[in-house]
Amino acid sequence: MDRLRCLQIFTEVARCGSFARAAMQLSVSRATVTKHVAWLESSMGAQLLKRSSKQVALTEAGARVLETGRDLLERYEAIEGEVRDVVHLPRGAIRVGTPPSFGAYHLMRLISQFTQRYPDIEVTVVHDDGRSDLVTEALDLSIRIAPSLEDASYVAQSLMKSPQVVVASPAYLKRHGRPATAADLVRHNCLVHIVKSSAGVWKFTSDPPQEVHVRGTVRSNLGDAIKQAALLGAGISLHPYYMVSEELRAGTLEALLPGWVPEELDIYVVFSTRRNMPTRVRHLLEFLKEWSRHPPDWALHAAAAKPRPRGKEFRKMSSPGKVRD
């Protein structure tokens, strides 16, 4: 029996707290998982997991094996990666977290380009709204999109900025009129993203800065759901420019409040540690940094595309943008 494989499977069972979930994550049968864990327990001469009908928990011996085993697997992967790099392109599996909308609109395009360059690397992209624990979810990297990051336990590198824009459909504006100032939003039906702003506060960085408490009939933790509601004429919404740039060009949504600049968001790539980072992950990190050196159109002066209102000073955004959804 492959001892390293047994240790890998045991580690996954401990992380998932379930034989069935571990089997699903590893794409093997539950029987295979059970067989490998049983062999490891036999070879160690100790019970490593307490099993019940509802959950799996570590014994004292299991906790010791897990702690040492993780370090052993990381060191083996580092050695394997270094050796492969001498004679091969990088290979192996990477798990990347991303906010759903950014993943669908932009990250998948980047991952497709990356895997064409490195065909022996398999990338799994999973949902992360910014609250996932990288170690628990076994994420090598994650994209976090926010005004700032509060969790100092991760290493974070800023990739770029993304401006935001307040939008509504022509149908909504025809029925309810167009807000002239940010303060006018309190009299409109605003669609609230409950992860980005659970309290319904929209911030504007124009001079002077302003916060507006908005309310509306639709709230969601899905940016695409909020955008769809806006397209249907349900109300006014706030989005990263990258998410609605196509609709703005097509005229199905219109940009509002040209004299008020919504708070920008930063796109970060975060990871748990630089120590023993597998070569394949390092390649993806460098690929993302390379992408960030050539910001796409949606990250560059989105406000410059808005009309200058008469009688009002229009303040352009003076730096490339940051994102979150």
Kindly list the structural domains of the chain, giving each domain's residue range(s) and its CATH number in brackets, ordered by start.
3-85 (1.10.10.10), 89-160+266-298 (3.40.190.10), 164-263 (3.40.190.290)
CA dist 56 and 48 (Å) reads 10
Residue 315 confidence (pLDDT) above 60: no
At 65, list the tokens.
């094996």
Question: What pairs with residue 193 in β-bridges?
Answer: 220
Which three-class secondary structure string do you get for 45-94? CCCCEEECCCCEEECHHHHHHHHHHHHHHHHHHHHHHHHHHHHCCCCEEE
pLDDT tens, position by position, 15-70 = 888 898 889 888 899 999 999 999 999 988 999 998 877 778 899 998 998 888 88
pLDDT on residue 205: 86
Compute CA distances 96 → 108, 225, 227, 234, whole Å: 11, 23, 25, 34
Rounded distance between C-alpha atoms, residue 178 and residue 163, angstroms: 21
Res. 309: pLDDT tops 70: no
Mean pLDDT value across residues 74-103: 79
231: left (phi over 0), alpha (psi -120 to 50) or beta: alpha
324 close to 146: Cβ distance less than 8 angstroms: yes
The pTM score is 0.66
* pLDDT, greater one: 248 or 80: 248
**pLDDT tens profile 259-273:** 899 999 999 999 987
pLDDT at 325 over 60: no
Contact present, 139 and 126 (Cβ < 8 Å): yes
At residue 132, does pLDDT exceed 90? no
